[in-house]
Structure 1
């Protein structure tokens, strides 16, 4: 069997809530293979880089996403046929999160596409996006990762909308506030925002007590209403 050099790339599934939908950052390939399909940002691992340094550099250089509030490694994708007939290329994939109030500058060939309505994607990038979405949903259950989706200050109703978009199912604002407060993850800022056109009381503003990742309840599961929890899992926000 003839051996060939194996390349190594890093890819980032960068997610953000935009227009009340969970979206991923992708760019349209102009050259073969898979010209016209949409790909995740990334590139070859540099000789003097570790994988996280490489993915952060390439995000900053290629798509000017400097407001990523959280980055973590997802998985290694090493199927020998993941690049089709081309040279073998192993990918280390990352999840990146951008807060909902950020609007980074993007090149003309790059856009935010809804995760639940993706265009045709290049290679195995749809699998990586699915993994990123599933990782985010899982970690919203047992960590404080909501901080990476939210602006610095927010109302509870606004935070609920972010959780709904990320999880893909209804969430009670009252239960969300209760759960996150019980875990000491939220604190009031002491400020309010004026009521909307419908009137009512001013809404209190909150912030996360810590904007670095914390495991808060290792066995919690944020599940849709009416869906039974798995064995050993403690349901949250039923």
Structure 2
């Protein structure tokens, strides 16, 4: 007996640390687009679509981001996981290969009207198993912040340590002390001082020293390291 058709799609969970409420710290947000047609019209989906016969998975992920949400540059993109539950979407069976992507906090991509950044902690009604994919992507990001330099993909080219600790805090979900973060990342050779200073804050004071990431490619910095929440 011939087997039924199985389709293959590629989905992208793209994160950015963004301001959400005035006066509040920035939050980790994920890029979603609103479905106009059934199934589940009106719900929000991760950008993605069908894998074409002449492309590999990464090429498909980049194409989907460009075509669906007009996002043409990501600082980092890596394969996340495969979601293959037989009933994950209605109708014919669809297997999803998912990707984790990141955009620097100072990037302002020109998004279509049906596309929006949503705080990961306040997701709207989300399609199918896409919430599960977002959660898997966030856990991957949090884990890699401990033992790699992956934060380069969320940070601007130059930053103060307080701004970088805000990015770590948003991605990890708990406070990160900027002094300890500077000590750890400097010891591992992850960041370097630029020799310049930034603008003073609203309350004045000494201008903050600025730093940059030593590399713009993912690398392991301490394979046994773990960033833990404060006690």
TM range (shorter): over 0.9
Q: What is residue 41 of structure 1 aligned with on the other side? A: 47
Which blocks of at least 5 consecutive residues in structure 2 are unaligned? 20-25
1:31-51, Cα deviation, whole Å (9 max, x unpaired)? 111111110001000101110
* Alpha-carbon distance, 1:63 to partner: 1.2
Q: Are 1:94 and 2:99 counterparts?
A: yes
* Alpha-carbon distance, 1:197 to partner: 2.8
1:141-173, Cα deviation, whole Å (9 max, x unpaired)? 000001000000001111011111110001000
* Alpha-carbon distance, 1:196 to partner: 2.0
Using structure 2 for the length normalisation, give the TM-score.
0.95
Native 8 Å contact 1:39 1:121 kept in 2: yes
Secondary structure of the residue aligned to 1:94 is strand
Q: What is residue 4 of structure 2 aligned with on the other side? A: 4
Which blocks of at least 5 consecutive residues in structure 1 are unaligned? 227-238
Using structure 1 for the length normalisation, give the TM-score.
0.92
Query: CA–CA distance in 1 between the matches of 2:153 and 2:198?
Result: 22
Query: CA–CA distance in 1 between the matches of 2:204 and 2:120?
Result: 34
Query: In structure 1, which of residues 158, 169, 172 is the aligned counterpart of residue 177 of structure 2?
Result: 172
Q: What is residue 211 of structure 1 aligned with on the other side? A: 216
* Alpha-carbon distance, 1:194 to partner: 3.0
Secondary structure of the residue aligned to 2:96 is strand
Q: What is residue 77 of structure 2 aligned with on the other side? A: 71
Query: CA–CA distance in 1 between the matches of 2:122 and 2:39?
Result: 23
Query: In structure 1, which of residues 91, 96, 111 is the aligned counterpart of residue 116 of structure 2?
Result: 111
* Alpha-carbon distance, 1:57 to partner: 1.1
Instruction: Count residues with an aligned counterpart.
Output: 225
* Alpha-carbon distance, 1:2 to partner: 5.7
The CA RMSD measured in Å over matched residues stands at 1.0
Secondary structure of the residue aligned to 2:171 is helix
More off after superposition, 188-197 vs 94-103: 188-197
Secondary structure of the residue aligned to 2:11 is strand
Secondary structure of the residue aligned to 1:191 is strand
* Alpha-carbon distance, 1:199 to partner: 1.9
Native 8 Å contact 2:168 2:176 kept in 1: yes
More off after superposition, 187-196 vs 127-136: 187-196
Q: What is residue 125 of structure 1 aligned with on the other side? A: 130
Native 8 Å contact 1:186 1:208 kept in 2: yes
Secondary structure of the residue aligned to 1:43 is strand
Query: CA–CA distance in 1 between the matches of 2:47 and 2:200?
Result: 40
Query: In structure 2, which of residues 37, 53, 56 is the aligned counterpart of residue 50 of structure 1?
Result: 56
Q: What is residue 182 of structure 1 aligned with on the other side? A: 187
Query: In structure 1, which of residues 14, 21, 25 is the aligned counterpart of residue 27 of structure 2?
Result: 21
Secondary structure of the residue aligned to 1:221 is coil
